[in-house]
Structure formats: structure tokens, C-alpha cells
Structure 1
Amino acid sequence: MKKSLLLFLMLFCSFFLVKNVTAQVHAGLYHGGVLSQIGVGTDIDKKYFGEVRFLAGDVVNYVYGIEALGHVNLKRSDWYNVHLGLMLGISSIDNGKFGLPIGLSFKPLENHRQFSILLEGTPMYAYDFTVRANIGLRYTFRKD
């Protein structure tokens, strides 16, 4: 029951996030260790932004799950953003998890600032304390 309630809350948060996005949306593909993630969220260049990530398992690694993340940009520039956030999630191998993601979104192409590379570390607690490291690609779709 606890797992079902948490999953419902995560899906509700993801619906709220997607429903309130009007102009700018980002999509990302991240990899950390043995798990990949697919993410959708709001504009990463705003002071506050959110994201929903889906754990993408495969034939060998069958883990699936969902995470909701809220971030605040501590430093924003044309070349990079530094952010800190809160992550809540659930997967097929735990009863819920939370973490504090700390990340750097680097925008290496001067004429294509909507493309960024994410480097992120997340101290987190699921069934035990651990630190997850992600590297990924993000693209922000903007109406200009």
C-alpha cells in the first residue's frame, strides 16, 4: 500500500509538472552506473526548475521506476548552470528513495545554448545510503 501511494504521488507530481509547462521544456538522457534515465522537465535556465525521470531498464537490468526532482539554480551563466535540488522516487527494487542532487549543466556550443551536458552527484537514501553519479545530455525546446 505504501508503495502504491508513493507511486500515485509521483505520477500526480509528474502530471502537474507537465501540465504547467507552457513554453520551455527540456528532455534528457542520463546514465549512471548500471541504470539509465530518461527525463522531462521545465526550462533549466530559470531560477527554479523541475524534472520527472523514468528509470530505463533493459533485458539484463530490469529495474524500472520514477523520480521527481525540484532544483534551484545557484549560479547561472551563458556557459553553465550550477544547481542543487531534492529528489523523491520509487523503483521496483526499493520502497522509496530521496536524495539531494548537486549538478552542473555545461553548455559547450556558443550558437546552440539549448544543448547542455549534465554532470550530477546525488547523495541518496533508498534501502541504504549511497551516492549516485550521472552524466547526460539535455536539450531545451524553446519558443523564440
Structure 2
Amino acid sequence: MKIRIFFLLLAFIALSNSAFAQEKWYPIYFGIYNSGDVNFIAIGSNFEKKHFGELRLTSGNRSNFDLTAEGIFYRNLIQKENLNFHLGAMVGVSEHDNRAVAHFGLPVGLTLKPFPSDRNFTFLIEAMPNTYDYRVNFRGSLGIRYRLDFK
């Protein structure tokens, strides 16, 4: 089952890359988020653009935690020097009891840029109503991001 999720993840990356071929994806950022007992590692496109995307993978703190991959497409509604306010749409897949489970969500969040000397280091505050295994729940996330500028 993990192999199927891995190939689904590769297909998602290939499709999202071809869908945004005209737009530069650099710089990219890396993030680490905490959502209660679930931790995520993330990689995303430039969060300073009007539209950007992110791929998240779980890195749970339990040894039997199910593998989860999520793709999120965002739109910045407010962009200021020290914060961005964004909305998005999330599609994810998890392995649960040896079967793939799809889930969907609508993230709403803030990217805070508190250090004027380094706007690449940011904090994420996000809330997301989402579905998982036919249940609706609410997830809040806190995290850090760092943008790498390839100039």
C-alpha cells in the first residue's frame, strides 16, 4: 500500500509541475508544522506569489502512525511586508488499515514575517476544516518555514 501512495504522490508532483510550467517555482521553502499529535514536513513554491503550492508528509511521533501525503494549493488574499493571509484547497491520501483513504480540506492561514532583516524565515498559523475517513474534523497547525532563494 505504501508503494501505491508513493506513486500517487509522484504523479501529483508531476501534474502540479506541468500545470504551473509557465510560473517559476523558485524560490522554494521548507517547513515543519505541528498539528497536535501529528507533525508535518513540507516543501512549497514561493509563498510571496499570488498563487503557490505545498506538499506535506506526516512525520508522526508514534511508531505506528499512518503515512499521509497532502497537496495544497493556496491563494494569497492579503500580502503585506510582514504578513500574508491565504486561503487554499487541500487533497490528501493516507494509508489506514491497509487501505488508501482520501481526505480534503480548506486551509485558512497567516504567514508571519517577524524579522525585518530576514523575510525568508516565517511562522505559519493555520486552521483547516477537513474530512478524514468519512468524518469531518478541524485541524489547527503551527509551524516554521524557511524560503531558499536560488538567484
User: Smaller-chain TM-score range?
Assistant: 0.7 to 0.9
Give the deviation of 1:88 after TM superposition.
0.2
1:132 is matched with: 139
Output the CA distance in 2 between the equivalents of 1:85 and 1:9.
Answer: 21
Output the CA distance in 2 between the equivalents of 1:133 and 1:109.
Answer: 24
Q: How many residues align?
A: 141
* CA shift in 2, pair 1:38/1:18, >3 Å: farther
Contact 1:17 1:41 survives alignment (8 Å): no
Contact 1:86 1:98 survives alignment (8 Å): yes
Aligned pairs for 1:14-25 (under 5 A) are: 14-17=13-16, 22-25=25-28
TM-score by length of 2: 0.84
**Considering only aligned residues, what root-mean-square deviation do their CA atoms show, in Å?**
2.2
Output the CA distance in 2 between the equivalents of 1:56 and 1:117.
Answer: 19
Which 5+ residue runs of structure 1 have no aligned equivalent?
none
What amino acid maps onto 1:31 in structure 2? Answer: N
TM-score by length of 1: 0.87
Q: Which moved more, 1:51-60 or 1:17-26?
A: 17-26
**TM-superposition CA deviations, 1:59-97 (whole Å, max 9, x none):** 445221100000000000110000000000011236110
Q: Secondary structure at the match of 1:43?
A: coil
Of 92, 116, 121, 2:122 maps to 116
Q: Percent identity?
A: 31
Output the CA distance in 1 between the equivalents of 2:76 and 2:122.
Answer: 15
Aligned pairs for 1:1-144 (under 5 A) are: 4=4, 8-17=7-16, 22-93=25-96, 95-127=101-133, 128-144=135-151
* CA shift in 2, pair 1:22/1:73, >3 Å: closer
